[in-house]
Amino acid sequence: MTGGKSLTNESPSINKFDQDLTLEWILFSSEPAGMRGLKYSNSHHLYTNDLSKLSDIPGPRKWDRQKSDILRSEDEIKADSVANSIGQTLNKKPLKDLVDALTKELHSDIAKTRALYRWLTIQPFRTIERSTAEGDKIIAQYLLQLVEKKLTYAQLFSILCGMIGVPCVVISGFAKGSTYQVGEKLTKKHRAEWNAVLINEIWWLVDTFWGACEFVGKSRTEIKYSFDDYYFLTDPEQFIYTHFPEVLEWQLLDKPISLREFEKQACLRQRFFELDMKTLANTLCCLKTKDGDVSLVFGLNPHRSKQQTFQCYVKAFEPDKKHNTNDLMKKNDNSSSNTNNNSNAFPETNVDIKTVEENDEHYLNIKIGFHEIGEYKVEIVGKELHVKSNDNKFDWIAIFKVHVKNINRHNFLLDDQIKPIASEAHEQEKQQQSNIVVINIETDSAEKAKIEEEMKKAEQKANEINNLRQAIFNAMKSKKLDQLEASVGDVIEKGYMAELGVEIAEAKESIDRLKRLQKLMQGVQELNQETIAEIRSYSNPPEEVHKVMKATLLLLGNYEEETKDWKNVQTLIGKTGKMSLKKRVTELDIESLQLDIALGSKQILEGTKFETIFVTSAGAAAFFNWTTGIISEMEQKYANNIASTLPRTNKS
C-alpha cells in the first residue's frame, strides 16, 4: 500500500524551461510559456526547436508491446542498483557528471533511461536547502527548482534524457491526483506534466512525479522516500484512467477519448490493474440509484483471485474533501486511534450500510443498500494475500460517487442471510477497520443466475456500443462522407445517443467539414479545360491572378521560390493526368497539410479580394475560393496554435 503517497498534481506554471543548459533538442506537446522560436509539427503533434530531426523518428501511435518485452530483469536490477548507490552523493556536481555516473556501465537506452527514472524518483528533494544548492549548475540547484516549482519533474527528466540522446517529450494535460474529487470537471488545478520517451522506435509513457513516492510517518516531520515502478513505461490503456493529454494523439491509443469521456469514466486506480481486474458493468464514475440499491461488479483473474482480498468504504460525499491517501493509510494502520470494533457503525454518515462481496474466482460483486437519500463516496480497496510484507497494505481499486434519489424500505440486502467474514488469519485486521462492513452472503442459484444474466446483458451492450464507437472512428479515419453518415445513423437507430454523445458530436462535425470541403472542390471540378487554359495563356498575368495561383500551388506542395516565376506556374498548370491541377486539388489530404504552409498561403493572398479577381478571371476566382476555404478550415482546426506559428512559403 502506498500509505501516505503524495499525488498532488505538479504545477507546470513556469516561465522558463532551462536557461543554464544548452539543449540541442526540445520537445513539448504544448507550447511552453516563455519559450520563443519553437515550431509546431503537424505530423508529430509537438513543438520543437529542430523540425529536421523529426524525420528520423515516428510520430505518436499505439503500440502492442509491454514493458517486460524490452526491459530485461538484469538491466532493471543493474540500473536500479547504480541509481541507489549514487543517491545524493553527487548533488554538488554538475548535471553531466551525474548522467555519466548513472549510465557509463549501462549499454542500452532502456537501461540508461531506467537509471535516470530510478535516481530522480528516489530523491528526497524536500530536504534540499538553499545553502546546499550554492554553486553553478550543480545537481542540487535543479532539485531546489523542483521544490520552488521553477522546474517540473517532467522537464528535469526531459533534460536528463536529452543528455543521453533519448528523445523525450514533455506532455501537458490533466491528472486525477489528490486534488481530484471523483466526478468533478477538470480545471487548471488538475493540470500536470509527464513524459513520453522513444525507445526502440516506440513511444513509452513515464511519470516521474507520480513515481516519486513520499511516505508520511506518524508526523509530518517523519517523511520517507521510495519510488513507484508502475509509472515507468506504463501501458497507455491503463494510463488514460488517470492522465489526459491536451493533444489527444499523445494518449497513444487507437481510439483516443475526449476530455468529457475522461471526466465521466470510472475512477480506476493503480491497484485495479496490478490485481489484473476488469470492469464489467460499472464504466462511469458517477452512479445513480432510484431505489437505494447499488451493485458493483468487477472481473477477476481466476488464477489469482483466491489470493486477493477486498474491502469497501462508504461515507457521505463531501465536495471539498479530496482524494487523500493519508486517510487510507490510517485505515491500514493497526495503531491508528481511528479504529472501531463495531464494524456496522459508520460515524461519518447517518446511513445504515450493508456491503456484500461475492467472489467466485471470476468476478467480484459488491452490493450496497442505502437507507437515506443523498450523495455518497464509495471506495473499494484490495491487496494480495500471499505478499508477506509490512508494505503490503490495502490500496485503492476504484472510487465512485453515488447519488441516491430514492430508497426502497425493503432493501434487497436486509432480506438476505448475512454472514460476516471472520477467518482466523485476518480476524484482527478486519475488526480494526474503521467505517467499514465486510460481509459475505450465500446467494441461492436463482440470485446467482440473475446476476450472471445481468452481467451478460451488460457485456453485450458494452460490446455493441464499442463496435458502434469503432465504426464511427473508422469512418472518420476514412474521411468518407457516406460511411460517416451511415455510422451516425446506426447509433441513432439503436438508441445509443446518450452513451455515444461525444462521438456523435465529433462525427457530425466531421460530416459538416467534409461537406464544406466537397463544396469547395466542386467549384474547381466544374472548371472546364478552356478556363484553365485561359489562366495559363497569360504571358504577363495580373498580379492578383499570379498571387492566387502561387497560394493555390503552395497548398499543393509547390513553394514560392518555384512559383514566383510565372513560366513555372504555366508549366504546373499545363500538366495532365495524375499531375493535373484539378486532380491534385481533388486529392489534397488536408490532414497532412501543415499550418505554417496554410498561413503562408494566406500571407501571399493578403490584400486580394474575390470581386477584383472574378472580374479579371473566373478560373482564378474558383481557385481563390478553394484556397481561402482550405485556409479557413486549417485556422479552425489549429486555432490554439496560430499565434505561435510563423507563416512559411519556402521549402526551408
- 123: part of which helix (H) or strand (E)? none
Decide if 154 contacts 175 (C-beta within 8 A): no
Rama region for 156: left / alpha / beta (φ>0; ψ in -120 to 50; rest): alpha
CA distance 70 to 67: 6
For the segment 211-236, the average pLDDT, to the nearest whole number, is 68
Cα dihedral across residues 149, 154, 157, 158: positive or negative: negative
- 595-604 and 543-555 helices cross at what angle (nearest 10)? 170
Hey, what's the cell of 3?
500509505
Whether the pLDDT of residue 418 is over 50: the answer is no
pLDDT in tens, 610-628: 888 888 888 888 888 889 8
Of residues 577 and 599, more confidence is placed in: 599
Note the pLDDT of residue 328.
Answer: 43
Determine which of 97-106, 361-370, 445-454, 634-643 has the lowest per-residue pLDDT on average: 445-454
Note the pLDDT of residue 389.
Answer: 67
Note the pLDDT of residue 155.
Answer: 94
DSSP 453-499: HHHHHHHHHHHHHHHHHHHHHHHHHHT-HHHHHHHHHHHHHHT-TTT
Q: How many helices (H) and strands (E) does the chain have?
A: 23, 21
Contacts of 299-305 with C-beta under 8 Å, sequence gap 24+, read 299/362, 299/363, 300/275, 300/276, 300/359, 300/361, 300/362, 300/363, 300/364, 301/275, 301/276, 301/277, 302/361, 302/362, 304/275, 304/276, 304/384, 305/359, 305/361, 305/362, 305/364
For the segment 431-435, the average pLDDT, to the nearest whole number, is 34
Determine which of 42-51, 83-92, 244-253, 553-562 has the lowest per-residue pLDDT on average: 83-92
Q: What b/e string do you get for 628-649 counting C-beta neighbours within 10 Å, with b at 16 or more?
A: bbbbebbeebbeebeeebeebb
pLDDT in tens, 573-591: 888 888 888 888 888 888 8
Note the pLDDT of residue 353.
Answer: 32
Determine which of 99-113, 386-400, 555-569 has the lowest per-residue pLDDT on average: 386-400
Hey, what's the cell of 549?
495561383
User: In which band, very low, low, confident or very high, does the pLDDT at 134 lie, cut at 50, 70 and 90?
Assistant: low
> What are the phi and psi torsion angles at 174 (to 5°)?
-125, 150
Of residues 437 and 24, more confidence is placed in: 24
Single-letter code of the amino acid located at 617: S
Whether the pLDDT of residue 408 is over 80: the answer is no
User: In which band, very low, low, confident or very high, does the pLDDT at 326 lie, cut at 50, 70 and 90?
Assistant: very low
Whether the pLDDT of residue 181 is over 50: the answer is yes
Note the pLDDT of residue 513.
Answer: 75
Single-letter code of the amino acid located at 391: D
Percent of the chain residues past pLDDT 90, beyond the cut: 28
* Pairing assessment for the beta strands 363-369 and 293-299 based on DSSP bridges: antiparallel
Decide if 332 contacts 391 (C-beta within 8 A): no
For the segment 484-499, the average pLDDT, to the nearest whole number, is 82
Percent of the chain residues past pLDDT 70, beyond the cut: 77
Of residues 451 and 642, more confidence is placed in: 642
Whether the pLDDT of residue 32 is over 90: the answer is no
Whether the pLDDT of residue 415 is over 70: the answer is no
User: In which band, very low, low, confident or very high, does the pLDDT at 268 lie, cut at 50, 70 and 90?
Assistant: very high
- 73-86 and 109-121 helices cross at what angle (nearest 10)? 40
User: In which band, very low, low, confident or very high, does the pLDDT at 329 lie, cut at 50, 70 and 90?
Assistant: very low
Determine which of 8-22, 92-106, 562-576 has the lowest per-residue pLDDT on average: 8-22
Note the pLDDT of residue 339.
Answer: 23
Whether the pLDDT of residue 514 is over 50: the answer is yes
Note the pLDDT of residue 84.
Answer: 87
Whether the pLDDT of residue 248 is over 90: the answer is yes
Note the pLDDT of residue 25.
Answer: 86
CA distance 31 to 48: 9
| DSSP designation for 620 | H
Q: How far is CA 577 from the centre of its chain?
A: 44
Going by C-alpha positions, the residue among 444, 433, 449, 276 that lies closest to residue 355 is 433
Question: What's the mean pLDDT when you consider all of the chain?
Answer: 78
Instruction: Name the residue with cell 481533388.
Output: 586
Going by C-alpha positions, the residue among 404, 416, 391 that lies closest to residue 226 is 391
Going by C-alpha positions, the residue among 193, 151, 180, 139 that lies closest to residue 15 is 151
Q: What is the dihedral of CA 494, 498, 502, 508, to 10 degrees?
A: 50
User: In which band, very low, low, confident or very high, does the pLDDT at 447 lie, cut at 50, 70 and 90?
Assistant: low
For the segment 490-497, the average pLDDT, to the nearest whole number, is 82
Note the pLDDT of residue 127.
Answer: 67
Hey, what's the cell of 435?
467505517
For the segment 86-113, the average pLDDT, to the nearest whole number, is 88
Determine which of 13-27, 348-362, 523-537 has the lowest per-residue pLDDT on average: 348-362
Rama region for 438: left / alpha / beta (φ>0; ψ in -120 to 50; rest): beta
Note the pLDDT of residue 491.
Answer: 84
Highest average pLDDT, of 128-142, 173-187, 203-217, 349-363, comes from 173-187
pLDDT in tens, 279-315: 877 789 999 988 888 888 888 888 888 888 888 888 8
For the segment 250-270, the average pLDDT, to the nearest whole number, is 92
pLDDT in tens, 356-383: 344 445 778 888 888 788 888 999 988 8
Whether the pLDDT of residue 533 is over 70: the answer is yes
